[in-house]
Amino acid sequence: MKICTFTTFAFEKKMNIPNEKLGKSLADEIKLVAKEERIDPNTLKKRICNGKVVILKLKDFAPVGIGEGLRTKINVNLGTSSSEYDRDQEIQKVLVAQKHGADTISDLSMGGNIDQIRNELMEKCTVPITTVPIYQAVVQEGSMLNISNEAILKVIERQIKDGVSSIVIHAGFSLDDLNKIKGRRIMGMVSKGGSFTASIMSQNNTKNPFLDIFDYILEMMLASNTVLNLGNAMRSGCVHDLIDEPQFAEMLNNSRLATLANKKGVQVILESLGGHVNARDLIQWIKIHKQVTNSRPLFVSGPLPTEIGLGYDHISASIGATLASGYGADYICAITPAEHLGLPSVDDIKNGLIACKLAAHVGDSMKYGLNHLFDPDLQLSKHRFLREWEQQFQISLNTEYLKEKFPKRKKDCSMCGKYCALLTSKRIFDNFN
Amino acid sequence: MKICTFTTFAFEKKMNIPNEKLGKSLADEIKLVAKEERIDPNTLKKRICNGKVVILKLKDFAPVGIGEGLRTKINVNLGTSSSEYDRDQEIQKVLVAQKHGADTISDLSMGGNIDQIRNELMEKCTVPITTVPIYQAVVQEGSMLNISNEAILKVIERQIKDGVSSIVIHAGFSLDDLNKIKGRRIMGMVSKGGSFTASIMSQNNTKNPFLDIFDYILEMMLASNTVLNLGNAMRSGCVHDLIDEPQFAEMLNNSRLATLANKKGVQVILESLGGHVNARDLIQWIKIHKQVTNSRPLFVSGPLPTEIGLGYDHISASIGATLASGYGADYICAITPAEHLGLPSVDDIKNGLIACKLAAHVGDSMKYGLNHLFDPDLQLSKHRFLREWEQQFQISLNTEYLKEKFPKRKKDCSMCGKYCALLTSKRIFDNFN
């Protein structure tokens, strides 16, 4: 398939004019984020006005900056499904995710009373929360075929009123794109929100419904400082489904929509290159994506660079996420060991998040080198050399697990016992005196 | 610290002349490996003669090729320690490692009767086995200070007689290198074999003992077709211990020793850049290493690109190993979740190996693109689209685990239930007819 020509990018660049509106109501948040990220507030503000950074917030909790020059952030997906809804379990997931350092949470609930569940989860939330309104619209209407624009707008309005920090819409693809995929991909379309949106379009032979109501959505978002996340409906569902024209077209369309939103003063995150992408292409496309979208904040889910790790997809995803974040992605979604198998347990959420944190952290070292984010690594190494276990455990990602596993840790380690290289080399160095 | 100038590399290149001796007694093995790896036998032979590929073998079991153009291979470390020796557990580790696809095994035993344990492990082995003779020498002599060259040679002779496929020696560093490290690294020297070797040098103020006996070692290896693995004593033990002059000097020294060994007809693997290396440097140094050593087979252990994943170091290592193998390493050592904590359990070995297999596999896609090695991924995706669970489980890295977890898998997945994007998109595509 032929890829769009590169002249489009120049066009994009012209459209992207710094917009003071974007940073307007974020004065306090900019100060807080700049301090947290150790960057100059003016630089941060400039990036926000250029659409390269967004700030998400929930109520009066710490705002979270995402984008150029900032620490790679991590999102955790949770929420009930149509076949499994246990409110308490989802609340536990919120608590575990926050305890282990999730930067944001997405409530993807589709089972039970969705408004109620969302609000109950939000009561426990101290980090920004994102929703995909089309999910609730589908459940409420009891159909994914006939959903009016009004119904979608009502859901969005309700969720924004409830205080969500960000919403995802799949506005960047058309029926024509779907037709191009047909028979040419192994996995078809794997985006749930995308498939709902496509379902409406296909049933009624219409254009993307979000385009008709885009201005209304922006108005609501602007009034509430909600961040727009332009989802990727066209992402590939297996490493052999290579980046194709529909996927590339969606990148460009979303980038154009982002420019329009930015103009109105709405902050935008672009979701792209999630799902499954082979590692070689992933590295190239992450770079290309950053280029063609003027370095807008890039959110990726996974991506998985191999399929054969079923049951261990949190590890496959941590490999993909490292490459993604290391080469430019700003925001990554944790993948759990239950991916492709079922709704994750609380433990799955924890394990997926820890794997993702390692990926984001290593990605940050690829982006920034060993900056202040690696101070904990430095401290841990110093304690390791002195075989100070308690202090190592404190700094590690899962202190509780280590303390449980080694309640009374001996100084010696059973790997090398008396033949510890650290002790031997210390003795040798002392000999040099 | 100043790094050696790049003129050295040209010198190295001149020394590396194709040597027919290297491929001489490997005619059958070349055929088998070429078939397994789907490459031309003449190309393979040429690479062996150039020192870019080695073939390891154990008895009459399938030979294993390592190096340029071949699938990235995985080694599993196991063996008793001085503080924990359970023969049965180590045998279980051999069986689990082989079941889950280890390409080679290293017996690092230092506890119990080492000769006996090695031979018992080898009885269960169907993949090449590697040892580090200095370990046994230290245990036998009851000291790491005074070990004669004769004692070292005797251990090597014994191990080669018993049929090990490869041995590791730390011959590429000197007392001078050690002196340069002193006070300049956080973690000092973390190589166990290196610290033993250094201990002898330091006690007796001698040069590296392996240099004196190098020719004898080569003779023994040549006669038995044992592969020489030149270990990296100078590797760094934390991401903040950057690649320094001693480490770079060891790369060059080992490469020179490899040239000498190749001339005599002994195959050589270089071990380098293992341990802990920050991701940015890792990518660069892997490329540099391949360049300065004329693409000799490169073995890396880990490397870990972060310290904070203690208890999850198999995941950190899988990230590092992906970068290493993706940018040129040919052979990687699995790291278990017990790394830095203690001797791994059988389960730790399994989990470390699975994480490492994902890394090697993704690394291969970075090196070669989606070649035949990704046929299982393709098959799995096709079954995934059809929601054929049994077949997906069969192709996955840990079939047994998945079958145990989902003994009676329902067609539907609890993640999306009736809102499955695959079903929705299939319905939409059908509508296009």
Enter the tokens of residue A88.
């308490």
The one-character DSSP state at A172 is: S
Beta-carbon separation of B429 and A138 below 8 A: no
Exposed, middle or buried: residue A324 (CB in 10 Å: 0-12, 13-18, 19+)? buried
The one-character DSSP state at A25 is: G
Which of B90, B144, B362 to probe by mutation at the A interface, max A CB count within 10 Å? B362
Exposed, middle or buried: residue B143 (CB in 10 Å: 0-12, 13-18, 19+)? middle
pLDDT band at residue B1, thresholds of 50, 70 and 90? very low
Q: Given this model, what pLDDT does residue A414 score?
A: 81
Which of B203, B282, B308, B394 to probe by mutation at the A interface, max A CB count within 10 Å? B308
CB A224 within 8 A of CB A166: no
Closest partner residue to A191 (CB to CB) among B311, B322, B421 is B421
Beta-carbon separation of A81 and B369 below 8 A: no
User: How near does any CA of chain B get to the CA of A176, in Å?
Assistant: 10
Q: Given this model, what pLDDT does residue A219 score?
A: 96
Cα dihedral A142, A148, A151, A157 sign: positive
pLDDT band at residue B411, thresholds of 50, 70 and 90? confident
Beta-carbon separation of B378 and A110 below 8 A: no
Q: Given this model, what pLDDT does residue B43 score?
A: 96
Q: Given this model, what pLDDT does residue B25 score?
A: 83
Residues of B in contact with A411 (CB under 8 A): none
Residues of A in contact with B316 (CB under 8 A): 358, 362
Beta-carbon separation of B306 and A428 below 8 A: no
Cα separation values, B86 from A166, B136, B192, B343, B349, Å: 55, 17, 21, 11, 15
Q: Given this model, what pLDDT does residue B433 score?
A: 66
Phi-psi map region of A323: left, alpha, beta (phi>0 left; psi -120 to 50 alpha):
alpha
Cα dihedral A162, A163, A165, A167 sign: positive
Distance in angstroms (rounded) separating the CA atoms of residues B17 and B30: 20
Size of interface A-B (CB pairs under 8 A): 358
- 0.90 exceeded by pTM: yes
Which of A72, A236, A278, A358 to probe by mutation at the B interface, max B CB count within 10 Å? A358
User: DSSP alpha helices (H): ranges in B213-345?
Assistant: 214-224, 245-264, 279-292, 313-326
CB B185 within 8 A of CB B124: no
Mean pLDDT, rounded, of chain B: 93
Provide the residue count of chain A.
433
Three-class DSSP category at A91? helix
- Residues B246-301: pLDDT tens digits? 999 999 999 999 999 999 999 999 999 999 999 999 999 999 999 999 999 999 99
User: How near does any CA of chain A get to the CA of B72, in Å?
Assistant: 15
As a whole number, mean pLDDT of residues B381-401 equals 95
Beta-carbon separation of A365 and B239 below 8 A: yes
Residues B377, B380, B383: CA angle, nearest 5 degrees: 155
Domains of chain B are 21-368 (3.20.20.540), 375-431 (no CATH)
As a whole number, mean pLDDT of residues B47-72 equals 97
The ipTM value here is 0.95
Beta-carbon separation of A428 and B189 below 8 A: yes
Enter the tokens of residue A73.
């952030």
Closest partner residue to A354 (CB to CB) among B83, B312, B319 is B312
Distance in angstroms (rounded) separating the CA atoms of residues A372 and A352: 25
Residues B263, B266, B270: CA angle, nearest 5 degrees: 100
Q: Which residues of chain A have pLDDT under 50?
A: 1-11
Distance in angstroms (rounded) separating the CA atoms of residues A35 and A32: 5
Three-class DSSP category at A367? helix
Give B336-351 as a DSSP string.
-TTTTTSS--HHHHHH
Residue B146's contacts (CB-CB under 8 Å, 6 or more residues apart) are B200, B203, B204
- Residues A140-177: pLDDT tens digits? 999 999 999 999 999 999 999 999 999 999 999 999 99
Whose tokens are 């490997």? That residue is: B26
Which of A236, A312, A427 to probe by mutation at the B interface, max B CB count within 10 Å? A312
Nearest CA in chain B to A361: B306
CB A340 within 8 A of CB A310: yes
Residue B237's contacts (CB-CB under 8 Å, 6 or more residues apart) are A381, A384, A385, A422, B185, B186, B187, B188, B189, B190, B275, B276
Residues of A in contact with B89 (CB under 8 A): none
Beta-carbon separation of B358 and A306 below 8 A: yes
Closest partner residue to B199 (CB to CB) among A237, A354, A428 is A428
Q: Given this model, what pLDDT does residue B19 score?
A: 82
CB contact burial A405-414 (16+ within 10 A = b; e otherwise): eeeebeeebb
Residues of B in contact with A343 (CB under 8 A): 414-415
Residues of B in contact with A340 (CB under 8 A): 384, 413, 415
- Residues B296-305: pLDDT tens digits? 999 999 999 9
- The four Cα atoms B119, B125, B126, B130 give a dihedral, to 10 degrees, of -70
Residues B368, B370, B376: CA angle, nearest 5 degrees: 125
Nearest CA in chain A to B199: A428
Closest partner residue to A192 (CB to CB) among B340, B358, B421 is B421
Distance in angstroms (rounded) separating the CA atoms of residues A331 and A299: 5
Residue B201's contacts (CB-CB under 8 Å, 6 or more residues apart) are B174, B175, B178, B207, B208, B209
